[in-house]
A and B are shown apart, each in its own frame.
Chain A
Amino acid sequence: MKQMEPKTFGSNQEMQDAEKNFLHRRHQRARLAQSVFQLTTLLAVIFLATLLVTVVNKSMGYVVVENKVDPSTLSDRPLSELNNTELAQMLRENLRKNRVRTLERAGFLEDQSQSTLVQLVETEIIQPEVVESYNLFPSLINSSKIKADAASTYPNAKVEFRYWLNGTLLTNSMASQPELAGVRSALLGSLQLILITILTAFPIGVGAAIYLEEYASHKSRINRLIQTNIDNLAGVPSIVYGILGLALFVRALQPFTSGALFGVDGQNGRTILSAGLTMALLILPILIINAQEAIRSVPDSLRQASYGLGATRWQTIWHHVLPGALPGILTGTILAISRAIGETAPLIVVGASTFITSDPTGPFSSFTALPIQIYNWTTRPQPAFQHIAAAAILVLLIALLSLNAAAILLRNRFAKRV
């Protein structure tokens, strides 16, 4: 289509031409600017998409599983249909006496739940092993070749399509075999950690922001010093907070963080509480700065109106400033949570465990967290752990998004009240 000659206004032809040229250049520049911004947005979207695709690609695909013992030789029926006696019998027949004795230390096999016994049969007797694993895209493209290869290399093995992000991953804890490893203890650890972090950092952060904005004189040298420090602390590398947490919470406050003060025995300071408090320190500057910004954005006319009616400072803050600032404060909290849930370095320093098979039992238990678990898995040589790591990243992302969604819902509720 032929572009229409733009109409310009003016009586003098010469002037009109000059102006047309000038206009043309300005419009050109405007279009250039627009395309630059579109390009930057596109780049950002591409990066994000690449990240997601990579993770998803790794989190599912064909696996070649070889069983040490074929389940069909154990029983004609599927394991889940057998009753406790039959399963216990199976275990006694196929395991060495010592192993059975170890397993029965807590109680007779027959007395344990059916699902536990099925799991035991799988881990102790069948012992499935992933001998080969593929990513999603190769699995989709070369499915027949993969199956042929597997059949020739591992005649006894089965080829199956596996979603690594599955129920086992969520219900199992860390294990040395990748087929049995899961994120349960790490996920619970992360959630408890974040809970402690928020419960500590939110009131302190909002309180500090209120003081700095509503009470402190901006002229006082001390307050300016404090402000500058907070602004700079937001940029301190997280490992430094880790070292601070190690010195302060793990070591100096050990009686408190290990729970010894509260009658909990046998723990050192490397607990969820220490990690949560360290994380709280880490996000405190971000929280304070965001809350200050939110408080500052509450129009001064509202404060004046409130004071003008004979309200005290606290009544003004509680009834007008805080409700007005809350949506902004919650937005800052979302950012802070996102930062905290993904932090790894400070957790390593304050002593998160990488191999924990039991659930965290409260603030004074040793723990692991999702980023730690992911980091640990990615450093292991077995390829199957790479897939689990990818699946765990998805779990982390989903957990993060759910927390943020909850905060956003909360924010919208407050924003709508007006």
Chain B
Amino acid sequence: MNQPSKYAIETRGLNIFYGDFQAVKDISLQFERNRITAIIGPSGCGKSTVLRAFNRMNDFVPSAHATGEVLYHDQNINHPSVDAVQLRRLIGMVFQKPNPFPKSIYDNIAWGAKMNGFRGNTDDLVEETLRQAALWDEVKDNLKRSALALSGGQQQRLCIARALAVRPEIILMDEPCSALDPIATLKIEDLMRELSQNYTIIIVTHNMQQAARASDYTAFFTMDTDRSGIMVEYNETSLIFTKPKDQRTEDYITGRFG
């Protein structure tokens, strides 16, 4: 066995292009294991693009391509030999808008596991993941009901449970609370804290309070003069929000811009 690398994911000089346009420039970041790392920054600075590079979801954008390295288990995942299908099981994703499948709650969770060759007891898996996602008590009597009948916050927790059901190591969250009300948002944040004991969580957020409340580390992105995204500062969340080293970070978090 290889010595497991210290970080869950590490990027080295990551550049991502959409056609000729460089969306992000030279990103080097290390994401700690079993921690919550937030990526914040103004709209259009490439936060989501970077996040989607971690499980190769950018493959579905025909014009997108990346240079540089994204290291996961010491392997550059942009290498053509890496199987993106397996990668996406290990690095799960929760999207901005809750997007449960138009199936029952039960099937939403069982489907992904089944597709990935799950052979165990599905009932147990559904209960376990719904408990992990703090949704079990609300839906345990209605598992056969359509997932679309749930509220937005419940749907988003179902999406998290669905991601957990395929046994990932890392969970990427792309503004998971932007479509939710404050109470549902708090529930998701509590859930993230709970999950971070076993999973590495990387969250992109517009909401600085959320980053401050819920994350251990924070990376601040902004745009340079070519409108390409760059990383300005990366540190422990408490330091970023109390003693930012960079003037741009301070301007952003104090609300002077962005």
A residues engaging B (CB < 8 A)? 217-219, 299, 301-312, 315, 319-320, 324, 418
Contacts of B89 in A (CB 8 A): 309-310
Point out the residues of chain A lying under 8 angstroms from B101, CB to CB: 302, 305-306, 320
- CB-CB contacts of B68-92 with A at 8 A, as 1s and 0s? 0000000000000000011111101
A219 neighbours in B (Cβ, 8 Å): 62
Report how far A219 CA is from B111 CA in the complex, Å.
33
B66 within 8 A of A: no
Residues of B within 8 A of A299 (CB): 99
> Which residues of the other chain, B, contact A319 by a CB distance below 8 angstroms?
111, 115
Q: How far is the CA of A312 from the CA of B115 in the complex (A)?
A: 9
Contact indicator A324/B57 (Cβ below 8 Å)? no
Enumerate chain A residues within 8 angstroms of B103, measured Cβ to Cβ: 418
Per the bound structure, the CA–CA distance linking A160 and B55 in Å amounts to 80
22 of the cross-chain contacts (CB-CB < 8 Å) are A218-B62, A299-B99, A301-B97, A301-B99, A302-B101, A305-B95, A306-B101, A308-B88, A308-B92, A308-B163, A309-B111, A309-B112, A309-B116, A309-B162, A310-B85, A310-B89, A310-B90, A310-B115, A310-B116, A312-B115, A418-B146, A418-B148
Question: Cβ of B112: which chain A residues have Cβ within 8 Å of it?
Answer: 309-311
Q: Which residue of A is nearest B172, CB measured?
A: A308
User: Taking CB as reference atom, which chain A residue is nearest B147?
Assistant: A418
Distance A4 CA – B112 CA, assembled complex (angstroms): 63
If A315-B115, A418-B103 touch, whether A309 touches B166 (CB-CB below 8 Å) is yes
A217 touching B115 by the CB < 8 A rule?
A: no
- Chain B residues with a Cβ under 8 A of chain A: 55, 57, 60, 62, 85-90, 92-93, 95, 97, 99-103, 111-112, 115-116, 146, 148, 159, 162-163, 166
Verify A310–B57 contact, CB threshold 8 A: no
**Given the complex of chains A and B, what is the CA–CA distance between A97 and B102 in angstroms?**
76
Whole-angstrom CA separation of A309 from B162 in the bound complex: 8
Instruction: Name the contact of A304 in the complex, choosing from B95, B100, B148, B163 (C-beta under 8 A).
Output: B95
Q: Is the CB of B102 within 8 A of A418?
A: yes
Task: Give Cα A396 to B225, complex, Å.
Answer: 69
Q: Which of A306, A309, A315 has the most CB of B within 10 A?
A: A309
A-B contact count (CB 8 A): 67
Return the 7 tightest CB-CB contacts between A and B, nearest first: A310-B89, A309-B112, A301-B99, A308-B93, A418-B102, A310-B88, A305-B99
Contact A307 B88 (CB under 8 A): yes
Residues of B within 8 A of A302 (CB): 99, 101-102
Q: Which residues of B contact A217 (CB under 8 A)?
A: 62
For B159, list chain A residues within 8 Å (CB): 305
Chain A residues in 8 Å Cβ range of B62: 217-219
Distance from A135 Cβ to chain B, minimum over Cβ atoms (Å): 53
Give the distance in Å from the alpha carbon of A320 to the alpha carbon of B62 in the complex. Answer: 21
Q: A312-B85, A319-B111, A320-B101 are in contact. Are A307 and B163 (CB under 8 A)?
A: no
Closest to A305 in B: B99
State the Cβ distance, A348 to closest chain B Cβ, in Å.
46
| Nearest chain B residue, comparing its CB with the CB of A312 | B85
Least Cβ distance of B122 to chain A in Å? 15
How far apart are the CA atoms of A312 and B80 in the complex, in Å? 16
Distance from A267 Cβ to chain B, minimum over Cβ atoms (Å): 49
Known pairs A301-B97, A310-B116 / 7 extra A-B pairs, C-beta < 8 Å: A218-B62, A304-B99, A307-B88, A308-B57, A310-B87, A310-B89, A311-B115
The smallest C-beta distance from A308 to any residue of chain B, in angstroms, reads 4
- List of A residues within 8 angstroms of B57 by Cβ: 304, 307-308
- A218 CA to B61 CA in the complex, in Å? 11
Cβ B115 vs Cβ A309 within 8 A? yes
In the docked arrangement, what's the CA distance between A228 and B90, Å?
A: 41
Docked complex Cα distance between A304 and B93 (Å): 9
Cα(A299)–Cα(B100), bound, Å: 11
A320 to B103, CA, bound (A): 10
- In the assembled complex, which residues on chain B have CB atoms less than 8 Å from the CB atom of A303? 60
Expressed in whole angstroms, the minimum distance between the Cβ of A357 and any Cβ of chain B is: 53
B204 to chain A, nearest CB (A): 14
Bound CA span A324–B148, Å: 14
- Tell me how far the C-beta of B119 lies from the nearest C-beta in chain A, rounded to whole angstroms: 16
**Candidates B60, B88, B146; contact of A309 at CB < 8 Å:** B88
Chain A residues with Cβ below 8 Å from B86 are 310
Q: Which residue of A lies closest to B90 (CB)?
A: A310
Provide the bound-state CA to CA distance between A74 and B109, in Å: 80
Q: Is the CB of B92 within 8 A of A309?
A: yes
Min CB distance A266 to B, Å, is 53
Query: What CA separation (Å) do A315 and B89 show in the bound complex?
Result: 14
With CB as the reference atom, state the residue of chain A lying closest to B159: A305
Chain B positions within 8 Å of A320 at CB level:
101
Contacting residues, chain A, for B93 (C-beta < 8 A): 304, 308
Chain A nearest CB: distance from B203 CB in Å?
15
Most central of B90, B100, B102 by chain A CB within 10 Å: B102
How far is the CB of B93 from the nearest CB of chain A, in Å? 4
Q: Looking across the interface, which residue of chain B has its beta carbon closest to that of A311? A: B115
| Whole-angstrom CA separation of A311 from B93 in the bound complex | 13
Q: A219-B62, A304-B57, A319-B111 are in contact. Are A309 and B99 (CB under 8 A)?
A: no
Do A309 and B163 have beta carbons less than 8 Å apart?
Answer: yes
A360 vs B112: C-alpha distance when bound (angstroms) = 49
A311 touching B85 by the CB < 8 A rule?
yes
Alpha-carbon distance A309/B159, docked complex (angstroms): 10
Instruction: Decide: A307 near B116, CB < 8 A? Known: A301-B95, A302-B99, A324-B102.
Output: no
In the complex formed, the residue of B with least CB distance to A310 is B89
Smallest Cβ-Cβ distance to B94: which chain A residue: A308
Smallest Cβ-Cβ distance to A316: which chain B residue: B115
Given the known A-B contacts A302-B101, A304-B95, A305-B95, are A310 and B111 also in contact in the complex, defined by CB atoms under 8 Å? no
CB contact under 8 A between A310 and B166, given known A219-B62, A302-B101, A418-B103: yes
Rounded to whole angstroms, the CA-CA distance of A308 and B146 in the bound complex is 21
Q: How far is the CA of A320 from the CA of B107 in the complex (A)?
A: 12
Bound complex: CA A72 to CA B163 (Å): 86
CB distance from B103 to the nearest CB of A (A): 7
Smallest distance from the beta carbon of B106 to chain A beta carbons, Å? 14
